[in-house]
Chains A and B, each alone.
Chain A
Amino acid sequence: MIEMFKVIEIFRGIEIPKNNLCHIGLSVVLFIILLGSFAPLIAKDPYETNMAKRLEPPSSEHFFGADQLGRDLFSRVIYGARTSLIVAITISAFSMGIGCLIGAVSGYFGGIIDDVIGRIIDVFLSIPEIVVNIALVGVFCTIYGSSTWNVILAVVFTNWVSYARITRGIVLSLKEREFIFCSKAIGAKSSWILFKHIIPNALGPIVVLATLNVGNVILTIASLGFLGLGIQPPTPEWGQLLNSGKNYIATAPWITFFPGLFIALSVFGFNLLGEGLRDILERRRIYE
């Protein structure tokens, strides 16, 4: 809770003059979040089949049309927002937890720990993420069948590094600053210093990273879903909906069009928001 206030404090009091990016981004993100949260109120049952309405084009009854089993595409897309958001935020949260902790420990304690962890971070940074994600999800699928946890585990496996790297960098630079030195002189414990001083100061860039990261993770989940590796039907997921629409592109292009539109919209929103936040942060740094 306190951390949340600290976050707001960082951004408070800064003018956002011509920075429309942030505004547009924020509105798009909020829109998607609202859609996902209020799905049961806005949309119908995404699992209900109705063969009589199979492959119907968009109409007043089915805003985005119907799919191969007569299910309302609009509902599936809205519930898909819910799925994508929850999974993406879960992944980012886990990645942040693991990554920031490792990065902070590495940067703060230095020495051999830092060397070893630094190397590990290097290795992970050199692996092409999506390749490993595909391989891992594929392998997990052969063990556990397909489940959402496969996707979460596989993506967290590669995703934590960006958080670790940033945290480590920040911690390294902060470590040398006066107030840390003074705290140590007074005899403060390392863990107290970490939590009270370092992490709050690192929050700004981490929030920016997290925002951009959620956007990227949504894209990754959708890519995995498109390849048939992610979340399985009948649970609606945007990438998987796109994949199923591929066959009907000649006669029912709406199945391809709408899920993809929402993927693009979400990623776009999160990227804009992240960019905007980054701009604000830099402006603040200039004032400091």
Chain B
Amino acid sequence: MLRYIARRALQIIPTILGISIISFSLLYIFPGDPAEFIVEARYGVEPTQEMVEKIRIEMGLDKPFVVQYFNWLSKAVRGDFGISWTEDKTVMEVILERLPISAELFFATFAISIAFALILGIISAVHKDKAVDHICRIYSLLGISIPSFWLGLILIWIFSVQLHLLPAFGCCELKHLILPVLTWSFSFMAIKTRFVRASLLEELSQGYVITARAKGLPEKLIIFRYALRNALIPIITYFSLSISHLIVGSIMVEVVFSWPGLGSLLVESVFKRDFPVVQALVFLSGVLLITMNLVVDLLYAVIDPRIRYGD
């Protein structure tokens, strides 16, 4: 078992290295002199040669690309992404400030999406091919087609502008949470519902279910005690994978509702040209994705011995 974990963990290292190269290089497509820009951003005056030189040496920008990359990487794995180019803080401080705010939105959405995805998915699977099922399938397609930013604006128009029921922006109280969660859940849920439906259907087509039905077991028992339990395994692992959508999915929603989380941090930093923060976010989101995949794989291996031995 440990060997399996070790092997899988080693496998992801090259991938992480790859991501780090891509994140780091993003900065180097930037032309002209990063040092000049930093001077301007920090001191607000036209950069003089001496200031630029000072910054260049201070930030190690005078060394060759590869050396800079290794410097960055060795610090990055310890969580030191350097100093923000526009704020007087380290990149990590900037990110950690916003992390709990993103987390609040994410967990609220996650909880609601899972609950409703389960319910809708089960109903859809159980009533396969009937009206309810078709509605759910159409909803799934709508969920991935309707842009979250459009839906968000429409909800703002209905609930904020017309009905004056909810605030259109801000964080972090309950009333601020409702519209963003609704918007984000709409698309989040759509994908999950499909998956729940598919998993459950696959379970229900298994041999033991047919046997159980033949034996005359009540349908509700079959669905809830047997099929669902077995289907839960892929469902749970799939849901866990979604945690990696923390940064990714939140971007548009956070921008529409001005929710000051990591998603809007990415967009703001790109506009302010605070590239160390952008680098860090790209790197971290990639690492998060890979790590979650790894964790899920391992969980799966723990639950399902066939996988361990088969590899």
Q: Which residues of A line the B interface, CB within 8 A?
A: 119-120, 122-124, 126-132, 134-136, 138-140, 142-143, 215, 219, 222-223, 226-229, 239, 242, 245-246, 249-250, 253, 256-257, 260-261, 263-265, 267-268, 271-272, 275
Q: Please determine whether A227 and B30 come into contact, CB atoms closer than 8 angstroms.
A: no
Taking a contact as CB atoms under 8 Å apart, the answer to whether B22 and A130 are in contact is no
| A120 cross-chain contacts in B, Cβ below 8 A | 18
Partner of B14, one of A119, A135, A139: A119
- Of residues 241 through 277 on chain B, the ones whose CB sits less than 8 Å from some CB of chain A are 244-245, 247-248, 251-252, 255, 266-267, 270-271, 273, 275
B285 at the A/B interface (Cβ < 8 Å)?
A: yes
Q: A128-B285, A130-B251 are in contact. Are A226 and B149 (CB under 8 A)?
A: yes
Q: Which of B141, B248, B275 contacts A271 (CB 8 A)?
A: B141
**Complex contact A128–B247 (CB within 8 A):** yes
Contacting pair B141 A256 (CB below 8 A): no
Contact check: which of B150, B270, B293 meets A135 at CB < 8 Å? B270
Which residues of chain A come closer than 8 Å to B266, judged between CB atoms?
Answer: 131, 134-135
What is the bound-complex CA distance between A105 and B244, given in angstroms? 31
A119 in contact with B15 (CB, 8 Å): yes
> Would you call A263 and B150 a contact (CB within 8 A)?
yes
Checking A126, A219, A249, A260 against B286 with a beta-carbon cut-off of 8 angstroms, the contacting residue is A126
Q: Is B19 an interface residue (CB 8 A)?
A: yes
Residue of B nearest to A262 (CB): B150
Q: Which of B19, B142, B145, B157 contacts A126 (CB 8 A)?
A: B19
Would you call B153 and A242 a contact (CB within 8 A)? yes
Asked whether, in the complex, the Cβ of A257 is within 8 Å of the Cβ of B147, the reply is no
Question: Cβ of A250 and Cβ of B161 under 8 Å apart?
Answer: yes
Chain B 25-41, CB within 8 Å of chain A: the 1/0 string? Answer: 01101110000000000
Complex: A170 Cα to B14 Cα, angstroms:
25
Which of A119, A124, A136, A275 is in CB contact (< 8 Å) with B141? Answer: A275
Given contacts A122-B15, A123-B22, A130-B248, contact A142 B273 (CB under 8 A): yes
Considering only CB atoms, which chain B residue lies closest to A246 in the complex? Answer: B153
Main secondary structure of the interface of A (DSSP, over half): helix
Q: How far is the CA of A88 from the CA of B218 in the complex (A)?
A: 51
List the B side residues contacting A222 at CB < 8 Å.
Answer: 147
A128-B289, A239-B149 known; 12 other A-B pairs, CB under 8 Å?
A123-B15, A126-B15, A136-B26, A139-B270, A139-B275, A142-B273, A143-B31, A219-B145, A226-B147, A249-B161, A264-B146, A267-B145
Closest residue on chain B to residue A129 by CB atoms: B248
Residue from A123, A134, A219 within 8 A of B270 (CB atoms): A134
Once A130-B251, A267-B145 are accepted as A-B contacts, the answer to whether A138 and B270 lie under 8 Å apart by CB is yes
B141 contacts A272, CB within 8 Å? Answer: yes
Smallest distance from the beta carbon of B158 to chain A beta carbons, Å? Answer: 10
Decide if B179 is an interface residue (CB 8 Å cutoff): no
A268 contacts B145, C-beta separation under 8 Å: yes
Q: Shortest distance in angstroms between A173's beta carbon and chain B's nearest beta carbon?
A: 19
In the bound complex, CA of A256 to CA of B160 (Å): 15
